[in-house]
Every structure is written in structure tokens, then in C-alpha cells.
Chains A and B, each alone.
Chain A
Amino acid sequence: MSNETSHVHSSTVSVPHETHHEVHHGHHHETFLTKYVFSQDHKTIAKQFLITGMFWALLGGLFSVIFRLQLGFPDAKFPWMEALLGEWAKGGQLQAEAYYALVTMHGTVLVFFVLTAGLSGTFSNFLIPLQVGARDMASPFMNMLSYWFFFIASVVMLSSLFVQTGPFSGGWTAYPPLSALGEASPGSKVGMDLWLVSMALFVVSSLLGGLNYIATVLNMRTKGMSMTRMPLTIWAFFFTAVLGVLSFPVLFSGFILLIFDRHFGTSFYLSDIYINGQALPNEGGSAILYQHLFWFLGHPEVYIILLPAMGMASEILSVNSRKPIFGYMAMIGSLFAITILAFLVWAHHMFVTGLNPFLGAFFVLLTLLIAVPSAIKVFNWLTTIWRGNIRFTPAMLFALGFVSLFISGGLTGIFLGNSALDIQLHDTYFVIAHFHIVMGVASMFGMFAGIYHWYPKMYGRYLNNTLGYIHFWITMVGAYLIFWPMHYEGLAGMPRRYYKYDIWESFKQFGELNKFISIVAIIVFLVQILFIFNFFYSIWKGRKVTTQNPWGANTLEWTTPINPGHGNWDGEIPEVHRWAYDYGKDGQDHIAQTVPVGANESKH
């Protein structure tokens, strides 16, 4: 089956059309080391982020498979697990401490290393210069540093898996006192120090990247590329970067205080604590303070993860429906509204910490307000595909899947945003189901859509379509089968993060359901391995791209050569004359952004 449609060549492209070439933009000779390792080319850095992110996704996914085995089969023994994990799975049974460590690492890795660095690191890097018409980022050197800080953060986090007392095990949010006191648990010892060092490096990486993305979008656009002609992908990456640049420093300040509590005897977060019957000298601290500082990043972080997926889904839905995006300005407006609201809702994670109920009411209101821009976006996606000439490429399927998951996961957000309902629902599987669908799986789908769609630009080859369809359908069905039942468990009050449920009469009824969820999770994990095989196989053996613009898209990245060198365009950077969404206009299938507006052209 071919991705390329026959009408692809109908439009004119106003740049020199060279397929095989060597770019002579940089005057320097490129060695293996400067081209593939310490590269300053935004496209190579993007691939480095992507492949590192995929490594972490595989590892983080494996963590979840192992703890799902414990949850689904609490009494079974797996001798292979002891061979793999040693002490952690004595006698083939996952130890409680190891279970908590795996849950913590799964959250940390997926939220930060996969869905922040792997998603916006990859696609902001790859698409911003290509789609705004720039030869590279505002500061290619800083961009390279951003990746290498992430790489060192990865090495430090990975090394924490191998220390004797194990990695940090107090949950991905790292609340004190578990994160502040080494005596609190084995994972709170060296593992927590490594976690903090790694996360500090990660924050530096995010900030360096974010500064660059903002500077590039605002300063490096080509001639004619006004802000309102930018594709929605770029708007999404821009707001993502703004969120990161303004919220990560606050988390950093929280981390600095935590480091002093751990090692220098301060009491920012600690007060009146007894360990093994012994009173600690710390007085005057408050654990809630950490929660405020953490969630001031933590909530924007949700949108740092989600906005890039929204942007890419908008672009892919429009291209593959052969229709302009519906409500372009409303899309930008809703992205902006989400960005502002993201900073004003953090305390909805803290309804049951003893927060003033009067204050809680404001946070409920602001939280529910997010439903407005979210609904606008969903409406616009649906009206974009409405009566479109839809091409069901794997990228399009994943973009549609993203919209589906965003709706189902978003609806449960309205439940959880109510402080009264939250008394029953907080810390149950309902929360797990909500945020995995709306933030985890939905953003993964956005990421998959992006990979399938821009893979031809990244490697000059296609991913295998058949494997892509298998990947999509099993992941889509599997995601709902895993997380839908968790809503019921959560409504029944089943708490999250527990190692075992069989001593509670009320949760015994879910034994078989847990088994079912675990089996589906394993199947979905195996399908991701299939995707990773497809990814690497296709780099070398995939079907070659033969035309410059395989999807018949309007944006600038498809005016570059099939395998662009450092500098992206061989000749001059093309000038932009129109927005990115002239599909099916005046009887033409698509009109690239580089085509001047004709005299008789209708207005959109």
C-alpha cells in the first residue's frame, strides 16, 4: 500500500528541486564525532532525543510490566524474575520495596524522560527550524548542551537502579519526608540523591532547550512567516517552551530546599517526625510547602506533555483530511488559555492535604474552566475531519486515536476537578485511569503520530505500514482495555500504589480484573517492541522516499531536499506567502506556503 497519493505533484514548489546532493552550508569538514555525536544540527539532536527517549520508554514500560505482574498475579512465582532482578525478586516474587521503586521509576521516567524530553525535545528540535524557515536554532551550541545535560541526567538516573539500596521509591512526586530523610526507607538513601542530581540536570536541559525554542520561534522566522501564518505545531511548541521556562525554575527552588533538608540539617519540609520511636530535632517545617512548589511545576508539566501532541495532531488531521484546520485562531486562543490556566490550578492536586476549602473552591472553578479551551480544541479537530477526504495513514490513525483518548480522559478530569468528589476519588485507581489516558497514552499517541508522519523527513524512508496498523490497533484497543476497568476499581475506592490487595475483603472482587489488565498490559508492551523494531529496521531497510512532499503538505519542511543537510535548504530560504492550511482551495488539492497569493484567489 502506498502512502503517496497521485495528486501530490499537482502543486508548484518554488524552491530548486534537487534530490541527491551534498550540502555545503557549513564550511567545516564533518567527522563522525561532530556529525553524529556532538552534533549542533537540530535534526540530529532531535533524533538523539528521540532514540534516548525510546530507550527510556522501553525501560519504563518494562518496569510497568514487572509491577503489573505483581498486581495481577500476587501469589505466583516467576523464577526468571529472580534471574533478572536478583535480590529484588527473592524466590521469584517481587519484593515490596522493589515494587515501590519500580512504580516510582516508571512515573519519573515516563513523565520526564519520555514525554517531556522524548516528545518536545524531539519534535520542537526537529520541526521548529524546518517549519518556521530557519537554518538552525537560535543557539545551536546551547541546543547541543541541552541534549547532553539530558544524557548525563539519564546516566545518573540509570545508575541509581544499580546501587545496593535501590533507586528512589517514594513515588514520582518525591514528597517529603520520604524524600527528605535517608532513614525513611532504603530507596531514600543514595537512590534519592541520584534522583535529585538527575532531575536537577534534567531541569537545566529543559531550560536550555526551552530558551532556544522561544528565541527561535520569535526571532528566526523566514520572510513572510508572520506569527499567524505559523503551523499550529509551532504554536504548540512555543507555548510548551513558555510553560517549561516559567515552571521548571520553581521546581528547582523546591529541589534546592529539599537538598538542604536532606544534607544540611534545615527544616523546610520537616516537623515533628518520629522514626522508629525516635523524635527528630527538625521543627517548623511543612511538607505541604514542597507540594505547592512541586505542583506549581507539576501541573504545567501535564500541559508540557500534552501541548506538543495537540499541535502535531492538529497538523496531521488537517493534512490527512485534505481540509484546512477548522478555527485556526480559536486553536491558538485555546492553546493560550490553557497555558495561562495551567499556572492557576496546581492546588487541585492538594484538595485533601488540609487546603483551605474556601481556597479550594477557586481552584475547582479554575480547573473546570480548562474544559472550555479543551472542548474548543476537540470541536475544531472534529470539524476539521468532518466531510474530509480522509487518508488513513498510520499517522492519521494515531492522531484520531489521540482525539478519542483526549475526550475520554478529559471527561474524567471534570470529576476529579471537584474538591468534594475528590474526597472519594483521590489516590485511587480512578486517578490512575484518568491521567494515564488523558496525559500518558494520549501524548504517546501524539508522539507516535508525529513519528509516523515525519519519519520520511527524518530518515528519507517510510516506516512499514502494515506493522504500523498492527501497532495502532492493538495499542488503541489495549489502552482502553487497560485503563477503562481501572475507573470502576477507583470508584469502588481501590487505592493506588498498594503492593497487594488480597487482604482487603472489598478489593478481592477485582482479582480477576487485575489479572486481565496485566495480561493486556503485557500484550501492549510487546507491540511497542514491534514498533521499535519497525523504527530501526526502516532506518536502513525502509521503503525510500522518492518525492519531496510525500503527504502533499503545505508546510516548509517539505520544501527541503529529501535528505536535508545542516542548514536545511540548499539555496535561499523560501519566502512564505500564506498560512499553512490551504487545502482544497479553489479546486486545488493543496497550495504550499511558498506559493504567492494569486490575483483571483478567493479569501479563506
Chain B
Amino acid sequence: MEKVMSSERTQKMHPHRFTLWVAIGSISMMFAGFTSAYIVKSNQAGWQAVQVPKIFYLSTVLMIASSVTVFLAQKAMKGREMARYRLLISATVILGLAFVATQFIGFTELWANKITFSESVAGSFFYIITGVHALHVAGGIIALTVLFFRAYNSKTKYYSTAPVETAGLYWHFVDILWIYLFVFFLLVS
């Protein structure tokens, strides 16, 4: 394996990072499927759009903030500032959890306002699209938590930047995906 990796043309990008780029294309297609289905349906008669819950603005702030912290965490790792790195990774995990929590609060609010699966097609779409996104955020939280525990493991010192860069790329992706979905629901509604 090592021999292959060191051949001239493979230096540019870590293979995991590359595979993640392809996976990002794949996940984007899933959300393209969802949102285009939403557009098609929203043009039909009897469509009642859903008001985006106010707390989702807070979600957006949290998500952007977490993108900043993960970016700074990558820089800290590159500079071998491990204390700073740990702090920033923890901050990202907490912001991610807070994001999922605000999503959940938003859902309960909507549900209480009679936007249920059986009452509203637009609402059903809204729950599923944002819910599937939240699942992707949860996957990112798991990956970051693994990094977090690695950083606190005193037995092995871990200085490779590849894992945090890969996780960071994914995190930025779910961030951008969220912004897309948020703007999408604001505009199409």
C-alpha cells in the first residue's frame, strides 16, 4: 500500500478526504431529490406552505459558529497547539449538539401548531428534509467525538492532521447544506 501512495500523482489529497468529496456529491444528490420533489409539489393545488420556526434562525447561527470553531481547530492542530485544539473540538461538538436541540425544539413547536404528518404535506416534507439533515449532523458529531477522545488519550499522541481535516470538510459541508435548506425553505415558502 505505502508504495502506491507514494507514487507521484497521489500526493495531492488524502484518499479519505477524496472519498469524502465523492460522498458529498452523493449526499447532495439526495437533497437535490428531496428539494426538487418539494418544488414540484409546491406548485400543485391546495399546497399550504410551512412557516419556518423562529428558533431555526438560532440553529443557523449555531451552525455557522461551529464551522468557525472547527476551522480554528484544524489550524490549532496544524500548529500543534493541543490545548487549544481540544477546547475548539469540544466547542464544535457542543455547538453541534445545540444545533440538533434547537431543531428538535422547532419540530415540537410546529407539531403543537397542528403541522403534523397527517395534516400537512408541506410540513411532512419539512420534517423529513430537515430531519435527514439533522441525522447527517449527528453523524458529524459522532466523528468529532471520536477525535475529541483521541485528543485526550494520554497513551498515544496523535498529530496527524488528516482526520481532523476530513471531519472538518464534512462539517463545513453539513453547514453549507443547512444554509441551503434554510434559505430554500424561506424562499419557496
Q: Which residues of A contact B (CB under 8 A)?
A: 134-136, 138-139, 142, 207, 210-212, 214-215, 218-223, 245-250, 252-254, 256-257, 260, 264-268, 281-286, 289, 292-293, 296, 572-573
B128 & A214 in contact (Cβ 8 Å cutoff):
no
CB <8 Å contact, B118 and A249: no
Q: Which residues of B contact A223 (CB under 8 A)?
A: 7-8
B19–A256 contact, CB under 8 A? no
Q: Mark B1-33, 1 if CB is under 8 A from A, else 0.
A: 101100111100101101100110111011111
Name the residue in A142, A212, A289 with the highest tally of chain B Cβ atoms < 10 Å from its Cβ: A289
On whether the beta carbons of A265 and B26 are closer than 8 Å, the reply is no
CB pair A214–B22 under 8 Å, yes or no, is: yes
Total contacts A-B at CB 8 Å: 114
Q: How far is the CB of A370 from chain B (nearest CB, A)?
A: 21
CB contacts (< 8 Å) of B46 on chain A: these are 283-284
- With A211-B19, A219-B18, A253-B30 given, is the CB distance from A267 to B4 under 8 Å? no
Question: Which residues of B have CB within 8 Å of A257?
Answer: 37, 128
Q: Using Cβ atoms and an 8 Å threshold, which residues of chain B touch A207?
A: 23, 26
Contact partner of A246 (CB less than 8 A), chosen from B18, B25, B37, B47, is: B25
Option from A134, A136, A211, A289 in Cβ contact (under 8 Å) with B23: A211
What residues of B have a CB within 8 angstroms of the CB of A285 in the complex? 121
CA distance A146 to B141 in the complex (A): 24
A289 B26 Cβ-Cβ under 8 A: no
**Partner pick for B4 among A222, A256, A293, CB 8 A cutoff:** A222
14 CB-based A-B contacts, threshold 8 Å: A138-B19, A139-B15, A214-B22, A215-B18, A221-B9, A222-B4, A245-B29, A248-B26, A249-B26, A249-B27, A252-B33, A257-B37, A285-B121, A289-B41
Task: Decide if B159 is an interface residue (CB 8 Å cutoff).
Answer: no
A264: chain B residues within 8 A (beta carbon): 117
Residues of A within 8 A of B116 (CB): 265
In the complex, which residues of chain B have a beta carbon less than 8 angstroms from the beta carbon of A218?
18
Q: How far is the CA of A134 from the CA of B1 in the complex (A)?
A: 8
A214 and B128 CA atoms in complex are apart in Å by: 30
Beyond contacts A139-B19, A284-B44: 15 other A-B pairs, Cβ-Cβ < 8 A, are: A134-B4, A139-B15, A211-B19, A219-B9, A223-B7, A246-B25, A246-B29, A253-B33, A257-B37, A264-B117, A284-B121, A285-B121, A286-B44, A289-B41, A292-B40
Specify the chain B residue showing the minimal Cβ separation from A247: B29
B121 touches A292 (CB 8 A): no
B43 to chain A, nearest CB (A): 11
Nearest B residue to A26 via CB reads: B1
A283 CA to B29 CA in the complex, in Å?
27
What is the CB-to-nearest-CB distance from A70 to chain B, in angstroms, rounded to a whole number? 37
Q: Known: A245-B22, A266-B117, A266-B121. Is A572-B34 also a contact (CB below 8 A)?
A: no
- Which of A219, A248, A252, A293 is B37 in contact with, Cβ under 8 Å? A293
CB distance from B56 to the nearest CB of A (A): 21
A267 near B19: Cβ-Cβ < 8 Å = no
Quote the shortest CB–CB distance from B81 to chain A (angstroms): 30
**Alpha-carbon distance between A572 and B1 when the two chains are bound, in angstroms:** 11
Chain B interface size, as a band, is 35 or more
Bound-state Cα–Cα, A582 to B83, Å:
59
In the complex formed, the residue of B with least CB distance to A293 is: B33
Bound: A105/B19 CA distance, A = 33
Min Cβ gap A295→B in Å is 12
Q: Which residue of A lies closest to B31 (CB)?
A: A253
Does B161 sit within 8 A of A, measured CB to CB? no
Measured CA separation A135–B5 after assembly (Å): 10
Q: How far is the CA of A111 from the CA of B6 in the complex (A)?
A: 40
Interface residues as binary, B27-62 with A (CB distance below 8 Å gives 1, 0 otherwise): 101111110010011001011000000000000000
Residues of A within 8 A of B32 (CB): 250
Cα distance, A265 to B40, chains bound together (Å): 21
Given A245-B22, A254-B33, A257-B128, does the pair A573, B121 have CB atoms closer than 8 Å? Answer: no
| Nearest-CB residue, chain B, relative to A289 | B37
Which of chain A's residues has its CB closest to B20's CB?
A211
Q: Does B186 contact A (CB under 8 A)?
A: no
Known: A135-B4, A222-B4, A289-B37. A215 touches B121 (CB 8 A): no
Considering only CB atoms, which chain B residue lies closest to A245 in the complex?
Answer: B26
Take A285-B121, A286-B44 as given contacts and tell me if A246 and B34 are in contact as well, using a CB distance cutoff of 8 Å: no
B124 at the interface (CB under 8 A from A): yes
Instruction: Report A74 CB to chain B, min CB distance, Å.
Output: 41
Which 7 A-B pairs have CB atoms at the shortest separation, nearest pair first? Answer: A249-B30, A250-B33, A253-B33, A266-B124, A284-B121, A266-B117, A265-B118
**Max count, chain A CB within 10 A of own CB: residue among B13, B22, B34:** B22
| B132 contacts partner chain A, Cβ-Cβ < 8 Å | yes
- What residue of chain B has the Cβ atom nearest to residue A133's Cβ? B4
Q: A257-B128, A284-B46, A286-B41 are in contact. Are A250 and B121 (CB under 8 A)?
A: no
Hey, which chain A residues are within 8 Å of B29, CB to CB?
245-247, 249-250
A135 to B6, alpha carbons, bound, how many Å?
Answer: 13
A273 to chain B, nearest CB (A): 14
Could you tell me if B3 and A572 are in contact, using CB atoms closer than 8 angstroms? yes
Q: Residue B30 contacts which of A220, A250, A286 (CB distance < 8 angstroms)?
A: A250
Determine the distance from Cα of A292 to Cα of B35 in the docked complex, in whole angstroms: 13
Residue of A nearest to B131 (CB): A256
Point out the residues of chain B lying under 8 angstroms from A265, CB to CB.
Answer: 116-118
Residues of A contacting B27 in the complex (Cβ-Cβ under 8 angstroms): 249
A551 to B180 CA separation, bound complex (whole angstroms): 54
With a 10 A CB-CB cut-off, give which of B15, B41, B44 has the most chain A CB atoms: B15
Shortest A228–chain B CB gap in Å is: 14
> Contact between A245 and B25 (Cβ–Cβ < 8 Å)?
yes
Contacts of B16 in A (CB 8 A): 139
Whether B132 and A256, one on each chain, are in contact in the complex, defined by CB atoms closer than 8 angstroms, is: yes
State A61–B132 Cα separation when bound (angstroms).
Answer: 38
Checking B7, B47, B128 against A256 with a beta-carbon cut-off of 8 angstroms, the contacting residue is B128
CB-CB < 8 A to A286: which residues of B?
41, 44
Chain A residue numbers with a CB within 8 Å of B25 are 245-246
* A210 to B13 alpha-carbon distance, docked (Å): 19
Residues of B within 8 Å of A267, CB to CB, are: 118, 121, 124
CA distance A266 to B10 in the complex (A): 48
**A247: B residues at CB distance < 8 A:** 29
Q: How far is the CA of A260 from the CA of B128 in the complex (A)?
A: 9
With a CB–CB cut-off of 8 A, which chain B residues contact A142?
19
A220 and B4 form a contact (CB under 8 A): yes
CA–CA, A289 and B39, complex, Å: 11
Smallest CB–CB gap between A364 and chain B, Å?
Answer: 21
Which residue in B3, B41, B117, B118 is a CB contact (below 8 Å) of A135?
B3
Q: Tell me the complex Cα distance, A249–B177, Å.
A: 15
Nearest chain B residue, comparing its CB with the CB of A220:
B4
Residues of B within 8 A of A220 (CB): 4, 10, 15
Q: Would you call B4 and A296 a contact (CB within 8 A)?
A: no
Selected contact of A296 from candidates B3, B22, B33, B128, CB within 8 Å: B33
Measured CB to CB, the closest approach of chain A to B10, in angstroms, equals 5
Residues on the B chain within 8 Å of A248, using CB = 26
